[in-house]
Every structure is written in C-alpha cells, then in structure tokens.
C-alpha cells in the first residue's frame, strides 16, 4: 500500500480509522513480509496483521510459507493446504498495485500494475494461524491466483484474483458456504481494470522500500 492518507484508506476498506495507526506506506512487499488482511467477523470488516506465505495450523515450522504465497483458484477446494481455509477463512488483501517483470534475468524490467485512476485493489486471499511457539500465535495469508487476462498474459500465465467491493464482501462472508458460488468469483480481471507501466529497477532488490520505487523508469534520449 503506497497510500499515506489513513481516512480514505479506512473508508475504502470499511474499517474504523482507529484500526490503522500501525500502517505505513509500503512500496515493495516481498513474500514472508508483514502486511495486513481484511476479514468479515460478526458482519463487520476487521483489519488484521498477517505475514505473506500461508502456514497451516498443523505445521511444526514455517518451511512451506514461501511455497504457499499463492493458491491456485482451480484447486482451492481439493488441495490439503488450502481447502479448510477456503471453507472457513477467506479474506481480502488490499493493495494499490503489484509488480511483474519482463526481460532477461540479466536485465529484468519491473512493471507496476494498478488501476488507471488509482485506488485500492482487493486480492482474494485465505488466512491461517499457527503456533511458532507454544504460547504464540502467528497469522499468515496467501493470495489466490487465476489465469492471466489479456494484459497480464504478455508477461505471466497467472494473475491475482481482483475482486470488486461487492464481490470482496461476498468472498469474505463466513456465512457463504456455497463453493460453486465462491469459485465463480475467482476469474481474471476484465479489460480496463489494470494498466501497467515500467518503473524503477530498484524494486529488483526486495529490501528496497522507498517512494521512488514506483517512479516511472526514465527513458534515454534518442540516440543514446
């Protein structure tokens, strides 16, 4: 999340502004980093800290976290690592953009995908809690992916599931137990929801997390 204004952010998320004092703008969130998720509990949206990379409640360690940063929409109901969370612990992961890359390994060019007008994107997610220590609980999450739409398919065969605000609430609603209905939400984003532009290669360093990370990549003058 690159937004510094808490009140618009709280309004868009549907959570009290007082629940956001710990947030700060982020420009390069990597797997296993802390972020936050939104779930619905008692018919109210609730903001929760979580770590990216799902660790199942029965896990003895977090070794699989990096392998479970994403969950394929097509196998949520059947894959052991995700099926219980699909039934009981659905969330959205708010962001205002995400990165993909193009080019060779030696010259990777990052692209920032975001709404043309700016604003929040709601990724479909799942969450779990596990015990890294007997007296400690840690919440983790994964982002659900689907087949890439026409824009993303130029760079990758998958993309995160992006939900409209209405679909986001339907996805999070714990009373919604119709798996077929839930699956119908997990489709590629329609044309026009996202645009992309090349940005600074600074984000190729996962530790770089500064505002100029999303600066447009400067182009050399003609002839250089």
178 confidence band (pLDDT: 50, 70, 90): very high
186 in a structural domain: yes
Which pair of tokens denotes residue 167? 């679909």
177 in a structural domain: no
CA atoms within 13 A on the CB side of 187: 10
202 in a structural domain: yes
Give the CA angle between residues 114, 7, 213 to the nearest 5°.
Answer: 35
Tally of domains within the chain? 1
**Residue 68 above 60 pLDDT?**
yes
Phi, psi of 101 (to 5 degrees): -125, 155
Interatomic CA distance for residues 155 and 82, integer angstroms:
26
Segments forming the whole domain that contains residue 202: 24-161+182-214
Q: What is the mean pLDDT of residues 166-191?
A: 95
Region at 223 (left for phi over 0; alpha for psi -120 to 50; beta for the rest): left
209 in a structural domain: yes
Q: Residue 221: what pLDDT?
A: 40
Buried b (16+ CB within 10 A) or exposed e, 42-63: eeebbbbebbbbbbbeebeebe
Report which of residues 147 and 165 the model is more confident about.
147
100 in a structural domain: yes
119 in a structural domain: yes
Q: Is 213:25 a contact under the CB 8 Å cutoff?
A: no
Interatomic CA distance for residues 99 and 118, integer angstroms:
15
pLDDT tens string 95-112: 999 999 999 888 899 999
**Residue 188 above 80 pLDDT?**
yes
pLDDT tens string 197-218: 999 999 999 898 988 888 887 5
CATH number of the domain that residue 35 is part of: 3.90.1680.10
């Amino acid at each position: 999340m690159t937004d510094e204004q808490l009140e618009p952010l709280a309004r868009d998320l549907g959570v009290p502004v007082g629940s956001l004092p710990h947030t700060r703008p982020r420009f390069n969130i990597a797997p296993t980093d802390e972020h936050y998720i939104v779930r619905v509990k008692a018919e109210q949206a609730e903001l929760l800290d979580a770590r990216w990379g799902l660790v199942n409640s029965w896990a003895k360690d977090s070794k699989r976290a990096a392998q479970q940063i994403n969950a394929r929409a097509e196998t949520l109901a059947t894959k052991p690592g995700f099926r219980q969370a699909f039934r009981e612990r659905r969330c959205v992961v708010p962001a205002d953009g995400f990165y993909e890359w193009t080019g060779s390994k030696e010259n990777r060019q990052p692209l920032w995908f975001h709404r043309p007008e700016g604003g929040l994107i709601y990724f479909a997610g799942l969450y779990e809690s596990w015990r890294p220590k007997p007296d400690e609980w840690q919440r983790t999450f994964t982002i659900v992916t689907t087949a890439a739409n026409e824009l993303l398919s130029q760079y990758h065969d998958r993309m995160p599931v992006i939900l409209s605000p209405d679909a986001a609430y339907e996805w999070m609603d714990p009373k919604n137990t119709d798996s077929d209905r839930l699956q119908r939400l997990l489709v590629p984003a329609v044309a026009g929801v996202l645009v992309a532009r090349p940005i600074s290669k600074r984000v190729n360093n996962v530790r770089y997390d500064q505002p100029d990370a999303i600066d447009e990549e400067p182009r050399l003058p003609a002839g250089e």
